[in-house]
Structures are given as structure tokens and as C-alpha cells.
Amino acid sequence: MEEKSVQSHRDLKVWQKAMDLAEVVYGLAAKFPRTETYRLGSQITRAVASVPANIAEGNARGTKRDYAHFVSVAKGSLMETETYLMLAVRLRYLGKEETATALNLVTEISKMLTVLRSRLIAYTP
């Protein structure tokens, strides 16, 4: 089987999964009470949008070192998103069942980012 080359960040599975997560989280944030629009809702949507954005920016950078840095930033935003999801459950804005898909994606993307970063670092002089 021939391996498909990566032409852009859009070809990366991790970016595609991060976009899926953003779509899911935006839907969940829409269920928050109106009082949270500019508080938790704003924070979680900013954090989740930052994940694929940082993957894309890193991929566009000129060096693997820069790319690895942006992958680290994406992972930080991913963990921030996870924290906000868990807080939304604790505040009873969302149920555990509602967040299951998003939290499963967080776990999957986290593993993918860890592997990507380790591969980038391995090739950094």
C-alpha cells in the first residue's frame, strides 16, 4: 500500500479529528445557559478552535522545531478544552453522556499529537 503524502495540514488525520472535535464542542457550548455566553462558552470555543488552528500554523512553519512548538500549543489548548468540558459537567450544564464523544476525541487527538510531536523532535537537529 502506497503512503499518501501530506500536501497541507488538511491532509493530516489529527487536524481532521481536531476539526471534528471543534464542531462537537461548539454544539455543546450552544447548550450552556445564556449567562455563560461570554464566560465558559467563550473560553471553551476559543480553546477548541485553537487546536486545529495551531496544527495548521505549525504545519505551515519552515522548521520542524517550530512545528513541534505549535503542536505543543495545540496539545495545551486540547487539555484546556477537556478541562472546560469537565467543568461544564460539574456545573451541570452538560451531562456525562453528552460529553462522551467529545472526551473520547480529546483522548484520541492527545495521543496523535504526542506521536506527531515526538516524530518532529526526533528529526530536529
- For residue 3, pLDDT over 60 is answered with no
C-beta atoms surrounding 121 within 10 Å? 14
Structure confidence at residue 39 (pLDDT): 96
Structure confidence at residue 80 (pLDDT): 98
Alpha-helix runs per DSSP H in the chain: 13-29, 40-60, 64-90, 96-122
User: Which domains, ranges and CATH numbers included, belong to the chain?
Assistant: 11-122 (1.20.1440.60)
